[in-house]
Every structure is written in C-alpha cells, then in structure tokens.
Amino acid sequence: MNNQLACSLALAALALIPMGRSSAVAAEEGFKPMFNGKDLTGWDGNKQFWSVKDGAIVGQTTPENPTKGNTFLVWTGGDVSDFEMRFSYRFAPNNDRANSGVQYRSKVMNQQTWSVGGYQADFEAGPNYSGILYDEGGVAGGRGIMAGRGEKVVWDKDCQKQVVGSLGKSEDIQAAIKKDDWNDYVIIARGNHFQHFINGKPTVDVVDECEAKRVKSGVIALQVHAGPPMKVEFKNLRLKTLAAEGAVADLEKLQGAWEIAGAELNGSVVASYDLPSLVVTITGKSYTVNRDGETDRGEFSIDPTKQPKQLDIRPKSGSDEGRTLLAIYAVDGDSFRVCYAAPGFGRPTAFTTEPDSGKLVVNYRRKKQ
C-alpha cells in the first residue's frame, strides 16, 4: 500500500468524531420557561433597576435612580451554547432613546455591578438598531456591530466582516415592529451560526468563522442601557437547548473503539487488502488513532445543524498538526461513514469522490471486544 494512500486513510480515521443532530424546532415542543411570572427567582441583578409587575420582568431607570453604566439581569440557569430563545418585549411610550437587548454566550465581567459582555440581540424604541447583532463590552473580540439590520454576514477566518446577502431593507423590517406595544423576538444560536427574528421577520443571519474571537458558550442576560431614563418589559421568556437533543446523544454512542470497514479514494474503491489495520478510539471530544504501534492524537469541533453534518478535526500530532481538517459524516447504529477533504481542498458537500478530488469516503464499524 503506497504511503500517500496510507496517510489519507489514517487522516480519514481522524474523522470519527461524535457529531449530533439538532432536530428542527416544532411549535413549542422542548421549550422550558425561564421566568415564573411572579418574581425574579432564577435571575440575578441589581434590584434597584429590576422588578416584576403584572407578569412581566421590568427594567427601569428614572431621573432619581439612574445607572452609571449598562446594567444586566443575569439568568442563573447556567451557561448555554446551542439554543433557541423566545420572548416578548416592549418599551414604555414617549422615549425613542430607550435601548435594551438580550445577551447570549456572554460572560459576567463584574459581579458587583452586574456588568455583562458578549453577543447581544439588540432592540430599541428608536428606528435603527432593533434586531442587530452587537458585541457588548468587546467580549467577542471588540467587533462592535457584527451585523446591521437586514444583513447576512460571514466573519471569515481572518476575522474580517463579509456582507454576503440581504434579508430585506432595514426600513421594511422596522415597519413590522410595533411601537409602544409587545413584540416577539427569537434568537437561534447553532454552532457558529446566529439568527435573530422580530415578529417573524429575520433581522440578521451571521456565520462567525473567526476562531480567535468567537464565543462558544456563556450566560443569558437582559439589559437596561445607561443614559436617559427608560423602561423595558419582558415576558414569555422560554428556552430550548438544541445541543442536548442530538450532539450529546451521539457523543455517548460514539465513545469507544472503531475500525475501517471500507473506503473510496479519488473515485476508486480501495481494495480490502490495502485497508490499513488501525483503531480509532474516542474519549469525550478527543481521539487517538493507533496503527502499527504508532499513535496520533487530536481534538474536534462539530456543527450538527448543517446538512450534511460537518466536523472540524484538529490533529495534535503528525504532519497535519496545527491544521484544521474538514469533513462531513452520517451515522446509523454501529456503523457510520465519513467524507474527508485532504488539506487544501474545500469541505465535501456529498459522500462521493471523483478522480483528483482530494476526497476520501471511509466506512467504519464498531470494533468488537
């Protein structure tokens, strides 16, 4: 067996990565309430500015009781990564300068002042910013407005903003927002893909490929903005954790040892006598590949929401150490298949190979004890 083929198959074995599937959200199935409608149980913030009235969480400043900086009410349910959050908000009338937002994948920067930073789903009483994605406090790399209203954005691997499409004109989105009344907001975070919706209209769609600045998990919090006196209300807050539905389940299924059952490289089936005798062992989100007494190691990250499902492999040893290797996968019981792209090639989009395509499809089976 030639060295190039052996290397390709060994690298493909790295693609045994526990990936999951987040099922589409249907109606309210799977959502859990974040607010009991009575008091601030489950939330932490400065009670000078936060209260409950008429079944809603109220954030309010007054001329007599201003806040020196933005202040937040933090949900104490723990850090969240992949999720869908739904809630309704409204501002008190006659104040077009009122501003608020919901923090997600954020961190508490100062517990004493309830200062929070990270991704923010912004909204305001004014006409310009409701629905944008904002980097509050610079926690996501100091990127400010990460997506303006109506923008479809990719932050590329060099951390540069690329506007790649449109979701509609900002003024048309604004026209669907009710002034001085309740509006329905939806936030969806799946892997590095973030979406905001107000009253059913998409406001931003962001893919964050900037590994150096991307935030993968963190707290959820509500904001009262510093400045002129303001009042904002929140109700019907509920949350569905997406990652727990598929990624965790598949992670558990794929723990253990696996071996190669068959492969196809650059459009040709690999003969059984050319298949390397190697074992891939998954422990948590790390892997080892053992072949002829040698061991390679690495880690991975996943995006179970893509079709086909995607994984990024980061070898910690061998010739590809320091690179990110791209693949797709499908799993069924004790067998699964992976289509892996050689370094320098783009991520595969289907489980097929063609001559000189740099793609390799590998079928795995669970190793019997």
The DSSP H or E segment spanning 320 is none
**Is residue 104 pLDDT above 60, yes or no?**
yes
| pLDDT in the model for residue 14 | 46
User: CA angle 70-72-75, nearest 5°?
Assistant: 165
Distant-in-sequence, close-in-space partners of 320: CB < 8 Å, separation ≥ 6: 11, 343
> What are the angstrom distances between the C-alpha of 34 and each of 64, 77, 85, 105, 133?
30, 8, 10, 16, 22
User: How many angstroms separate the CA atoms of 292 and 2, rounded?
Assistant: 15
Q: What is the mean pLDDT of residues 194-220?
A: 96
The CATH fold of domain 32-241: Jelly Rolls (2.60.120)
Q: Is the per-residue pLDDT at 99 higher than 80?
A: yes
Domain 3-20+248-366 indexed as CATH 2.60.40: no
pLDDT band for 250, please (50, 70, 90 cuts).
low
**Mean pLDDT throughout 69-88?**
95
Per DSSP, 110 falls in state E
- How big is the CA angle at 223 (ends 219 and 226), to the nearest 5 degrees? 135
**pLDDT, averaged across the chain:** 88
Over residues 339-353, the mean pLDDT reads 89
Residue 118: strand pairing partners: 136
Percent of the chain residues past pLDDT 70, beyond the cut: 90
Q: Residue ranges of the domains in the chain? A: 3-20+248-366, 32-241
Which residues, other chains included, contact 179 with Cβ-Cβ below 8 Å and sequence gap of 6+? 93, 125
How confident is the model over 74-99, as a mean pLDDT?
94
Phi-psi region of 66 (alpha: psi -120 to 50; beta: other; left: phi over 0): beta
pTM given for the model: 0.63
Give the pair of three-digit tokens for residue 133: 């994605």
Q: Could you tell me if 227 and 243 are in contact, meaning their C-beta atoms sit under 8 angstroms apart?
A: no
350-356: long-range contacts, CB 8 A cutoff, minimum separation 24: 350/308, 351/308, 353/264, 353/265, 353/266, 353/267, 353/268, 354/266, 354/267, 355/266, 355/267, 355/268, 356/266
pLDDT tens-digit profile of 164-190?
Answer: 999 999 999 999 999 999 999 999 998
360: closest CA among 227, 42, 345? Answer: 345
pLDDT value for 168: 95
Place of tokens 């349910």: 77
Contact between 117 and 177 under an 8 Å Cβ cutoff? The reply is no
